[in-house]
Amino acid sequence: MKILVTGGAGYIGSHTIVELIKAGHSVIITDNLCNSHKNAVARVEQITGTSVPLYAADIRDSAALSRVLDEHPADACIHFAGLKSVGESNSHPCEYYDNNISGTLNLISVLRAHNVKNIIFSSSATVYGIPEKSPVTEDCPKGICTNPYGWTKWMAEQILTDLHNADPSWNIVLLRYFNPIGAHPSGLIGENPNGIPNNLMPYITQVAVGKRECLHIFGNDYDTPDGTGVRDYIHVVDLARGHVKALEAIKRNCGVALYNLGTGKGCSVLELVKTFEAVNHVHIPYVIEPRRAGDVAVCYSDPGKAERELGWKAEYGIEEMCRDSWNWQKNNPQGY
Ligand code: NAD
Ligand code: UDP
- CA-to-CA distance for 44 and 48, rounded, in angstroms? 6
Among the atoms of ligand 2, which is closest to the Cα of residue 217?
Answer: 7
- 7 near 13, Cβ under 8 Å? yes
- 243 near 175, Cβ under 8 Å? yes
- 298 near 266, Cβ under 8 Å? yes
3-state secondary structure of 336: coil
- Strands 286-289, 215-218: pairing is parallel
User: Ligand 1 within 6 A of 208 CB?
Assistant: no
Of the listed 97, 128, 149, 316, which one is catalytic? Answer: 149
- CA-to-CA distance for 261 and 256, rounded, in angstroms? 16
Give residue 170's pLDDT: 98
User: Ligand 2 within 6 A of 171 CB?
Assistant: no
DSSP class of residue 291 equals: P
Give residue 181's pLDDT: 98
CA dihedral 24, 26, 32, 34 (to 10 degrees): 10
Among the atoms of ligand 2, which is closest to the Cα of residue 269?
Answer: 14
14, HSE (Cβ side, Cα atoms, 13 Å)? 27
- 154 near 127, Cβ under 8 Å? yes
| Cα separations in angstroms, 7 against 38, 90, 219 | 11, 22, 33
- 333 near 211, Cβ under 8 Å? yes
Omega before residue 135 within 30° of 0, cis = yes
| Cα separations in angstroms, 86 against 20, 96, 293, 336 | 29, 10, 11, 23
- 232 near 318, Cβ under 8 Å? no
Q: Whose CA is nearest to atom 20 of ligand 2?
A: 199
Give residue 294's pLDDT: 83
Q: Is 149 a catalytic residue?
A: yes
Cα 329 to ligand 1 centroid, rounded to whole Å: 19
Give residue 293's pLDDT: 86
Cα 29 to ligand 1 centroid, rounded to whole Å: 13
| Cα separations in angstroms, 193 against 119, 181, 236, 278, 328 | 26, 12, 15, 24, 13
- 55 near 28, Cβ under 8 Å? yes
Mean pLDDT by 10 residues, the chain (336 residues): 98 98 98 97 98 98 98 98 94 97 98 98 96 93 93 98 98 98 98 93 97 97 97 98 97 96 98 98 98 92 98 98 98 94
Q: Whose CA is nearest to atom 23 of ligand 2?
A: 295
Total-model pTM: 0.98
| Cα separations in angstroms, 293 against 10, 124, 226 | 27, 19, 19
Q: Which residue among 218, 223, 263, 322 is best mutated to probe the pocket of ligand 2, counting the most ligand atoms within 8 A of its Cβ?
A: 218
Cα 11 to ligand 1 centroid, rounded to whole Å: 7
Chain centroid to CA 191: how far? 11
Ligand nearest to the CA of 61: 1
